[in-house]
Amino acid sequence: MLTDSEVEALAHSIVKEGLEFVKEQQPQLFKIVTSQSGEKGFEFGIRAKTGSGSFYCVYYPLTAIKRLIVECDELFDQFEIKLSHKLTGELSTPKLGEYAAEHGKAGVRLMARCAGLALIGSFFPRFTELVNNEYDDHQMLARAVMGQFIEHLEDDEYVHDSPFDMSKDVEAAAQRVADQKRESLREKLSALPNIIAQRKTGRTRKSDLEREQERHEFIRQIKDAYKSLRNSKGKPPKKVWVARELRTGGLSARTGNDSSAQALNVKLGRLDIDYDEVAAEAEEELNNNSG
C-alpha cells in the first residue's frame, strides 16, 4: 500500500505531467492555471463548430487523480489472478498483492500514471462530446414538444396519428453514445499488451491458460482410460483402444471406417501431448500402486 505522502507526491507528479502534455499539444487552446489553494489545473474555451454553443471551463484534476491512485492501490492488492502450474496443471487464484508483493508499488504507480494521464488528456474531447450530445438530446426534446403541439391542434376534417412515437429516436441516441464510448475505450485499451479490447467475429480463441488447462485435463483422461483398459485386459492397451475409450472420432456412417485413432492423434497434436510419454507415466503409476 502507498502511504499518504506517496499518494500525494504521485498525484502531483501525474497532474504536472498531464498538464504539460495537454499544453504542449494545443498551446493556443489551453492555459495552465493555479487556484487560490495552489492547485494546478487548466482552462479552455471554444466555440463548437457544430453550432451547439460556446463554452469556457476550468478543470482541476488533483482530487480525481488522488482518488484514482487509491483505487489502483486497492485493485492491485485485491485482484485475483488465475494460475496454472506448468507441470501439474493445478489451478490457483492468489491475490495479486500477495503474488507480486515486491512489485506492488511499481505496479500501482504504473496503473495510476497511465489512467491519470489518459483522464487529463481526454478531458477536453470528452467535454466537447458531452456538449454536442446534450444539444442533440434536447433537439429531440424539441421534436417531442412538437408532437404534443400537433396533438392539441383542432381539425374537423382529419385525425392526427397519435401517439407521437419517438422510441426509435431514443434508441438511436442511446446507441450513438454507446458507440462513442465503445470506440473511445477500444482505442485506449488496444494500445496495451496482453489486452483483448475487441473480439473478432467467429470462434473465440482460447487463452494460454485455458489451453494449458485443457491439455492437463486431457492428459488426465488419457491416463484414466489407459489404466481402466490395462486393469480389465491385463496387458498394456493399444492406442486405438484408448481412443475408443475416450470416444474420440468413431465409425463413419458413410464409409464404416473407424476414425478414433486419427481423431486422437489430431487432438494430441493440437494440445502438444506425447502419447507414448503419457502412457508410460500411467503404466508407472499402476506399477507403483500395485507395489
Position 276 confidence tier, pLDDT thresholds 50, 70, 90: very high
CA-CA distance, 128 to 260, in Å (whole number)? 62
pLDDT at 27 over 60: yes
Residue 213 belongs to what H/E stretch?
A: helix 208-233
Contact 135, 50 (CB under 8 A): yes
Indicate the Cα dihedral angle 207, 212, 214, 220, nearest 10°.
Answer: -170
pLDDT at 224 over 80: yes
Count of C-beta atoms within a 10 Å radius of residue 171: 10
Best mean pLDDT range from 13-17, 81-85, 191-195 = 13-17
Residue that wins the pLDDT comparison between 38 and 190: 38
Please list, in sequence order, all residues whose beta carbon lies within 8 angstroms of the beta carbon of residue 244, skipping any fewer than 6 positions away. 258, 260
Contact 249, 261 (CB under 8 A): yes
Position 41 confidence tier, pLDDT thresholds 50, 70, 90: very high
Position 61 confidence tier, pLDDT thresholds 50, 70, 90: very high
Give 110-148 pLDDT, tens digit per residue: 999 999 999 998 888 888 888 888 888 888 888 888 877
Please list, in sequence order, all residues whose beta carbon lies within 8 angstroms of the beta carbon of residue 56, skipping any fewer than 6 positions away. 43, 44, 45
Where would I find the H helices in 86-155? 96-99, 104-121, 123-151
Average pLDDT along the chain: 85
92 strand-pairing partners = 83
Mean of pLDDT values over 76-88 = 84
Mean of pLDDT values over 254-261 = 73
pLDDT at 66 over 90: yes
pLDDT at 248 over 70: yes
Position 33 confidence tier, pLDDT thresholds 50, 70, 90: very high
pLDDT of the residue at 203: 66
CA-CA distance, 125 to 121, in Å (whole number)? 8
DSSP code of residue 220: H
By DSSP bridging, strand 40-47 and strand 54-59 are antiparallel
pLDDT of the residue at 142: 86
pLDDT of the residue at 201: 67
On the 0-12 / 13-18 / 19+ scale of CB atoms within 10 A, 248 is buried
Contact 230, 286 (CB under 8 A): yes
Give 140-192 pLDDT, tens digit per residue: 888 888 877 777 776 666 666 666 778 888 898 899 889 888 888 888 888 77
Residue that wins the pLDDT comparison between 144 and 53: 144
Residue that wins the pLDDT comparison between 211 and 268: 268
| Share in percent of the chain as helix, strand, coil (round to 5) | 60, 10, 30
User: Where are any strands of DSSP class E within the chain?
Assistant: 30-34, 40-47, 54-59, 83-84, 91-92
Please list, in sequence order, all residues whose beta carbon lies within 8 angstroms of the beta carbon of residue 260, skipping any fewer than 6 positions away. 240, 243, 244, 247, 248, 249, 250
Position 63 confidence tier, pLDDT thresholds 50, 70, 90: very high
On the 0-12 / 13-18 / 19+ scale of CB atoms within 10 A, 52 is middle
pLDDT of the residue at 72: 95
Cell 391542434 belongs to residue = 153
Residue (of 144, 151, 149) closest to 170 by Cα position: 144
Share of the chain above pLDDT 70, in %: 90
pLDDT of the residue at 128: 80
pLDDT at 48 over 80: no
Mean of pLDDT values over 220-234 = 89
